[in-house]
A and B are shown apart, each in its own frame.
Chain A
Amino acid sequence: MKSITKILTAVLIGSTFLVAPVLAAKVPAGTNLTADQTFTYRVGDEHSSVDPQIVEDVSGSELVRDLFEGLLNQDALGNLIPGVAESWEASNGNQTYTFKLRKDAKWSNGDAVTANDFVYAWQRLADPETASAYAWYMEIMSLENAKAIIAGEKEPSELGVSAPDDYTLVVNLTAPLPYFAAMTTHASTFPSPQKVIEEFGNEWTRPENIVSNGAYVLTEHVPNERSVRERNTMYWNDAETVINKVTALVINEESTALTRYLAGELDRTEIPAGEYPRLKKEYPDQAISFPRLCSYYYSFNVSDSGPEAFKDERVRQALSYALDRNVVTEQVLKGGQFPAFTFTPGTTANFDAPDVAFGQITQAERDAKAKELMVEAGYGADNPLKFELLYNTNEDHKKVATVAAQMWKQKLGIEATLVNQEWKVFLEVRGKQDFDLARGGWCGDYNEASTFLDLMTTPSGYNDGKYSNAELDKLMTDAKTADDPSANYTRVEEIMAEEMPIIPVYHYTGVYMMSEGIIGSWPVKNVEQNWYSRDLYKVE
């Protein structure tokens, strides 16, 4: 959980605590809105739940952000803006936070949204009875007694959150967290309606029962087929909401989704790997690619259970050098992805990507170097290196893995066998270091380099390759308290380029087809892609 506890070390420092009220959908003057303000998009799989305290997946969180509103929201750039809370302040050295709630916030049944709704929701999240997979979120928010409550040692009512009056929420923390406010944009912390939950139990999230406080209400849900949300007339800022109806359609196959998009049934869908340039040419105003804060990499298992060969730095370097990133990004994926020579994407805020040496030379030079290194390490035609390349079952991962394996085979005579596993199995196997080389993908939780680099520290729970370097650990620890940690991050990347515990392959982009009407209001600059339907609008 290490990586999440460090959310937002630097981002929020310096942001003011009192922000002027902000309009919801900021439709520029002179924009011609269409009469039909509906938004229909594709999701690949059914969401886990729309219960804020239960939801645990991306598509579910998208729904929850529309149906419910937490204390704070993000704007199109990812900045914090007020939600149910109008203002907030930290006191007691960042260990106490006081939120002032707006008085016009209402549930969809007309009841006022009060501080008690938040107290209830947060206690519910920590309560072992609820058995939420996100209960740990209360723990990393450092709420008083959260840990003991999750362990069943204290009552949920002892959680460090209280409501002195209906419109004031006071939170007591066990540690000073300067970035605490930003954590309240997370779906798990959104309020939930106590009366309704107590009346309907598990079935409270069904369209006929649900009561919510966001810009939308759930009006229809056919599992594995569609969910529909329509605007909530009780929402405090309903006047500035433009989109009337949002429909999420579950379409498993990317290619089917694209066909349906082209037939005009969808406003947004993912572009399958390799098809972006063709679609961009044909539909220049609809195909879109924008940088995401995500990295695609292969990690070496350098633990005791890993292959002996990968303990040799030269072998790791050779494999990394011989992998031609440009082929992967320009010839296989073709969605504007960025070839990666560092783990942290270059677009990350406050991060100076070092010009790592192997990124500066040509691929031919890298290949030559890789061949030398393999010979030095003692591998050749009579003693070929063999290992398994593990990835989770997915067409795109298969393509990248196939291409990588062929590069290694043709350039270095390495025999890499491809192994793919179902997501859940894959995670367990990778987490137990039961692999040689495994695919990894990581999206930043916040726009700062530590969200990536923490993964490489010895104690990180996501350091599946069990790489360990004392200097790197120290640099990352120091970064937590440093005024400007960017030098530390640069140095860490340099160490990694030298020791190569992972092979950075590329940095993701969001590659979508979006209807011309909606594309202008899409928050492409929100690198976390926390989007709210109430900020969208459709133009002629």
Chain B
Amino acid sequence: MMVIGSKKITQMAQNMANYEQGKSHSLWVDARRRFFKNKAALISLIVLTLIVIFSFGAPYVTPWSNEEIDWSILGSINEKGMPSIASKHYFGTDDLGRDLFARVAQGTQISLMVGFVGAFIAVIVGTLYGAVAGYFGGRIDSVMMRIVDILMSIPYMFVLILLLVVFGRSIIMLFVGLGLISWLDMSRIVRGQTMVIKNKEFIEAAIAGGSNHLTIITRHIIPNLLGIVIVYASLLVPLMILTESFISFLGLGVQEPNTSWGALISDGAKTVLYERLWQLFIPLAFFVAGLFSFFFIGDGLRDALDPKDR
């Protein structure tokens, strides 16, 4: 598993909170400028865009679908199943003579979806939870944060496995499982940030102006959390994809005929002995390129949105 540099994010949060309010317009403009100056992030963004274009464009390029079996190849994958322009299997085929080009494209869609949906759930739940705890403070805060502490002490990989075994494996259950565990860190960071923001003058002004708590949280606090939330979410996406790959390795992930990066890689890893290396290395290349991109983009966003050097 990977780690998100939580210390850096906390620091960034402090920097952002201290940044003078009212200049938020220029903050975003600045951030964009800085982001596009960051070469690694920019290249990653391009790579990621290409991957996305590939995943949606592939069906127009190949005559094969992700589940169609090429009967002329089935049974002699080692001899005929390798990547070839002539056979129109640009990435070769899997063990059942299904086109890897189409399967990688479809698997990419699923993996990206898992990453984004998982991160999205984390963002929504974590932000609301953290903002509420931080805003109200006191006893509500300590109860809410103790709950987070307790949940964090549960070995989440085990819980995820249990969920999928007990309630049956489905993509929905996978999202629920990923969502359940991913918001905890988010809520902690958001809470800390909220505690700082709520003491700002403009919040006090809003309270004095008679706004209710809900309005204050949604109108004033959450918008000011946006930077930190975006950065954290961008780093969560690859983590979700990695987790899904592990779950797929256990056979609990996406179900046939659909596939995902993790499922393709784990199938490929089982056949390394049989001289069909393209089955492992092609999906692995996409997986690695995709994750690299997410990390660099996340890093880039963090540097861009962190106002400390201004």
A-to-B contact residues, CB < 8 Å: 253, 255, 258-259, 262, 274-275, 278, 327, 330-332, 334, 393, 395, 398-399, 401-403, 405-406, 410, 418-422
Contact = CB atoms under 8 A, between A and B. Distances in A.
B78 A406 contact: no
30 contacts: A253-B270, A255-B270, A255-B271, A258-B273, A259-B273, A262-B273, A274-B95, A275-B274, A327-B74, A330-B75, A331-B74, A331-B76, A332-B74, A332-B96, A398-B256, A399-B95, A399-B96, A402-B67, A402-B69, A402-B256, A402-B257, A403-B74, A403-B96, A405-B257, A406-B69, A410-B68, A418-B255, A418-B257, A419-B255, A420-B255
A327 B75 CA distance: 8
Given A332-B75, A418-B256, A402 B96 contact: yes
A125 B96 CA distance: 47
Contact of A331 (B75, B251, B274): B75
Given A275-B274, A332-B96, A393 B74 contact: no
A421 B75 contact: no
Contacts of B270: 253, 255, 395
Label chain A's interface by main secondary structure: helix
Contact of B273 (A255, A334, A420): A255
A418 B75 CA distance: 22
Contacts of A275: 274
A282 to B, nearest CB: 11
Q: Top 5 closest A-B pairs, CB basis? A: A331-B75, A406-B69, A331-B74, A255-B270, A418-B256
A278 B273 contact: no
A332 B251 CA distance: 20
Interface in B68-126: 68-69, 71, 74-78, 95-96
A417 to B, nearest CB: 9
Given A399-B96, A402-B257, 16 more contacts: A258-B273, A259-B273, A278-B78, A327-B74, A330-B75, A331-B74, A332-B96, A395-B270, A399-B95, A402-B256, A403-B96, A406-B68, A406-B69, A410-B68, A418-B255, A419-B255
Interface string B45-85: 00000000000000000000001110100111110000000
B277 to A, nearest CB: 14
B165 interface: yes
Interface residues of B, number: 21
A327 B165 CA distance: 32
B192 to A, nearest CB: 42
Label chain B's interface by main secondary structure: loop
B256 A403 contact: no
B67 A406 contact: yes
Report which residue of A330, A402, A419 has the largest number of chain B beta carbons within 10 angstroms of its beta carbon: A402
Contacts of A406: 67-69
Contact of A393 (B78, B96, B251): B251
Nearest to A425: B168
A398 B256 CA distance: 8
Contacts of B255: 418-420
Contacts of A274: 77, 95
Contacts of B165: 422
A278 B74 contact: no
B75 A334 contact: yes
Contacts of B75: 327, 330-332, 334
Interface string B269-310: 011011000000000000000000000000000000000000
Contacts of A330: 75
Contacts of B95: 274, 399
A177 B256 CA distance: 48
B80 to A, nearest CB: 12
Contacts of B77: 274
Contacts of B69: 402-403, 406
A327 B251 contact: no
Interface string B3-14: 000000000000
Report which residue of A255, A334, A399 has the largest number of chain B beta carbons within 10 angstroms of its beta carbon: A255
A339 to B, nearest CB: 14
Nearest to B267: A395
B269 to A, nearest CB: 9
Nearest to B269: A255
Report which residue of A331, A332, A420 has the largest number of chain B beta carbons within 10 angstroms of its beta carbon: A331
A85 B75 CA distance: 51
A264 B5 CA distance: 45
A306 to B, nearest CB: 20
A421 B165 CA distance: 9
Nearest to A279: B274
A76 B96 CA distance: 37
Nearest to A330: B75
Nearest to B71: A327
Nearest to B251: A393
Contacts of A258: 273
Contacts of A399: 95-96
A150 to B, nearest CB: 32
A274 B257 CA distance: 20
A420 B74 CA distance: 23
Contacts of A395: 270
A161 B36 CA distance: 87
Contacts of A405: 257
B173 to A, nearest CB: 14
Contacts of B256: 398, 401-402, 418, 420
Contacts of B76: 331
B33 to A, nearest CB: 50
B274 A278 contact: yes
Contacts of A393: 251
A367 to B, nearest CB: 12
A421 B168 CA distance: 8
A490 B141 CA distance: 76
A125 to B, nearest CB: 32
A501 B60 CA distance: 42
Interface string B139-171: 000000000000000000000000001001000
B94 to A, nearest CB: 10
B200 to A, nearest CB: 54
Contacts of A410: 68
Nearest to A395: B270
A213 B249 CA distance: 43
Contacts of B271: 255
Contacts of A401: 256
B257 to A, nearest CB: 7
A494 B96 CA distance: 33
Contacts of B274: 275, 278
B46 to A, nearest CB: 36
A403 B67 CA distance: 10
Interface string B231-259: 00000000000000000000100011100
A71 to B, nearest CB: 42
Nearest to B256: A418
A403 B68 CA distance: 9
Nearest to A393: B251
Contacts of A259: 273
A12 B177 CA distance: 57
A243 B192 CA distance: 69
